[in-house]
């Protein structure tokens, strides 16, 4: 069958979510013949009916048969198919074995970016075309086709770097009927001595000294070398990708059967060898960088936890609780509980826009500046403290396209006065916890502190607002949250619904035995409700 670059390739998309199937179908239907399946078994039936697909895009999390299980069943019958897995960030480590065994060509994390997804699919299609074109180009010679398929199939079974290097030298040594073969890998990204050579030996005997002599100067030229009483043919080749040397190989044969066709064949399969080594090297580099990134994120997480895991002294008649749960290793949410030596209690909850490390860095800066402001012998009012924070952080926030929403509260236990300022944050909630527990007011409603509001920090150079002020009564409770709480998705009658402040109040009403923030936040993050944003919640209760 002829194969041209203009032929529309077949693409199979597998996902148990019909919306995703429809979206992928619309994205690729103009450039590919797209087939759809909503389960692994349905996809296997589709392959049996329509034959080999150029590309398979499969969701990882599917009932009965997950993505890697389904793809593993296609490897034997369709070795040339490009397999791509759609997966969540936390599932990436689960794909390592699948990638190593050749089941997966690449993986894409959800939610994907349409432009990047198209680029990955087009690159996979180009790779598929290269494989098919090369196979058909060598089909004129049965011996070459058999040899070519044997080598490429063997090499492509591994993406682990060390295993791939050994597979390459074993495959080439066996395919070319060499007595010995030595592969010299090159890895310029790792400092220190070059990687050790990888060897192949036809017989169960040590590699002779000639095989350890190093890479010869001439490549793709048949030479003869003498070792003891034996004369060996010697054939060397280099494998380069974009002018970067990946590895070199030297083959040795004592029976002297190699000729110019051998050189041509080695040259023809070099592209597949380069592809195998470059993909394995890329995976190796990504794996090494991932391990380094995870180690650095773990350190960052520990630092952030130490910043947030505050310990404050017990205050007679006051109960303070706080919970902060990041959606990733580190996040941009923060809270602060500061007990001033003069007796005032300062509470704050903030949320840096974005997620991950950039948000965490601004979160650490905000906490540091806030503590400096509150440590003064006579701290300013919450609105003035916010103005000072905006002045200190504004330039960096603007330059890095970030902002901070924040609510800051000062409570004086002696006068029961509560003063607060809000920079675009979720409104604090105030209610009588005493009436809630006693059940004396069935239609109890909360008060939302809407005064003292302004725009988020980092929006305008001169932040200013007038602080709100009120007095608390015995038995009152105050709750500060981030939008990760109010915008959390919960299941109501089988439908995902945003919690909002009204839903949060309904959860609070259920806690008739006392306010428990740990239990409250656990209600939001069940197995059925995935956490998408950092979640922070802070409460202050005045004894009745």
Query: Residue 523: which H helix or E strand, with range?
Result: helix 517-524
Residue 267, pLDDT above cutoff 50: yes
Residue 411, pLDDT above cutoff 50: yes
Query: Residue 343: which H helix or E strand, with range?
Result: none
Average pLDDT estimate for 84-91: 75
Between CA 433 and CA 480 the distance in angstroms is 15
Take residue 353 and report the two structure tokens written for it. Answer: 């826009």
Residue 420, pLDDT above cutoff 80: yes
Preceding amide of 73 cis, omega within 30: no
Q: Looking at residue 417, what is its pLDDT?
A: 97
Q: Looking at residue 316, what is its pLDDT?
A: 92
Q: Residues 483, 422: contact at Cβ < 8 Å?
A: no
pTM summary value: 0.51
Instruction: Kindly report which listed range (145-149, 383-387, 450-454) carries the lowest average pLDDT score.
Output: 145-149
Q: Residues 102, 150: contact at Cβ < 8 Å?
A: no
Instruction: Write the pLDDT tens digit of every residue in 442-494.
Output: 889 999 999 988 999 999 999 999 999 999 999 999 999 999 899 888 776 66
Residue 350, pLDDT above cutoff 60: yes
Residue 6, pLDDT above cutoff 60: no
Residue 442 burial (10 A CB sphere; 0-12, 13-18, 19+): exposed
Q: Looking at residue 308, what is its pLDDT?
A: 66
Instruction: Please name the residue that has the structure tokens 């759809």.
Output: 36
Parallel/antiparallel/unpaired status of strands 230-241 and 489-492: unpaired
Average pLDDT estimate for 417-429: 96
Average pLDDT estimate for 522-527: 76
Take residue 254 and report the two structure tokens written for it. Answer: 């004592």
Residue 21, pLDDT above cutoff 80: yes
Q: Looking at residue 445, what is its pLDDT?
A: 93
Q: Residues 377, 408: contact at Cβ < 8 Å?
A: no
Average model confidence (pLDDT) for the chain? Answer: 84
Residue 140, pLDDT above cutoff 50: no
Average pLDDT estimate for 435-443: 88
Between CA 119 and CA 418 the distance in angstroms is 56
């Amino acid at each position: 069958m002829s194969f041209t670059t203009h032929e529309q390739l077949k693409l199979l998309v597998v996902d148990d979510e019909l919306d995703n199937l429809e979206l992928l179908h619309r994205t690729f239907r103009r450039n590919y013949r797209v087939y759809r399946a909503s389960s692994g078994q349905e996809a296997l039936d589709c392959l049996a009916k329509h034959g080999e697909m150029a590309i398979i895009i499969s969701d990882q999390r599917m009932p009965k048969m997950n993505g890697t299980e389904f793809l593993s069943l296609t490897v034997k019958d369709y070795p040339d198919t490009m397999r791509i897995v759609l997966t969540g960030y936390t599932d990436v480590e689960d794909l390592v074995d699948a990638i190593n065994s050749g089941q997966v060509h690449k993986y894409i994390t959800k939610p994907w970016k349409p432009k990047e997804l198209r680029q990955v699919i087009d690159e996979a299609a180009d790779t598929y075309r290269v494989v098919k074109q090369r196979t058909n180009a060598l089909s004129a010679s049965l011996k070459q086709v058999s040899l070519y398929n044997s080598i490429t199939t063997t090499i492509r079974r591994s993406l682990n770097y060390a295993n791939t290097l050994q597979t390459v030298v074993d495959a080439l040594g066996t395919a070319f009927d060499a007595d010995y073969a030595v592969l010299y890998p090159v890895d310029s990204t790792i400092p220190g001595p070059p990687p050790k050579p990888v060897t192949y030996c036809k017989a169960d005997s040590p590699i002779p000294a000639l095989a350890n002599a190093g890479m010869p100067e001439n490549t793709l030229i048949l030479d003869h070398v003498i070792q003891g009483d034996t004369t060996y043919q010697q054939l060397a080749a280099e494998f380069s990708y974009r002018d970067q040397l990946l590895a070199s190989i030297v083959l040795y044969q004592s029976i002297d059967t190699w000729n110019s066709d051998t050189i041509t064949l080695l040259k023809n399969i070099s592209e597949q060898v380069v592809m195998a080594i470059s993909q394995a090297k890329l995976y190796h580099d990504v794996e090494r960088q991932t391990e380094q990134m995870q180690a650095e994120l773990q350190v960052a997480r520990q630092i952030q936890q130490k910043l947030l895991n505050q310990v404050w002294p017990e205050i007679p008649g006051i109960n303070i609780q706080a919970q902060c749960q990041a959606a990733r290793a580190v996040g941009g949410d923060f809270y602060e509980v500061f007990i001033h030596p003069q007796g005032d209690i300062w509470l704050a909850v903030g949320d840096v826009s974005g997620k991950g490390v950039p948000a965490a860095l601004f979160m650490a800066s905000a906490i540091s500046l806030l503590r400096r402001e509150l440590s003064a012998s006579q701290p300013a009012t919450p609105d003035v403290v916010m103005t000072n924070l905006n002045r200190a952080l504004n330039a960096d926030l603007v330059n890095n396209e970030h902002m901070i929403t924040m609510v800051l509260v000062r409570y004086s236990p002696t006068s029961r006065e509560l003063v607060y300022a809000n920079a675009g944050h979720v409104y604090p909630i105030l209610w009588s916890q005493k009436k809630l527990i006693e059940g004396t007011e069935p239609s109890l409603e909360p008060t939302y502190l809407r005064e003292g509001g302004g725009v988020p920090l980092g929006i305008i150079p001169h932040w200013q607002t007038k602080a709100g002020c009120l007095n608390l009564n015995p038995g009152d409770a105050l709750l500060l949250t981030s939008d990760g709480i109010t915008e959390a998705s919960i299941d109501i009658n089988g439908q995902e619904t945003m919690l909002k402040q009204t839903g949060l109040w309904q959860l609070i009403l259920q806690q008739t035995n006392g306010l428990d923030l740990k239990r409250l936040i656990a209600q939001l993050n069940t197995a059925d409700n995935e956490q998408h944003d950092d979640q922070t919640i802070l409460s202050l209760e005045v004894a009745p």
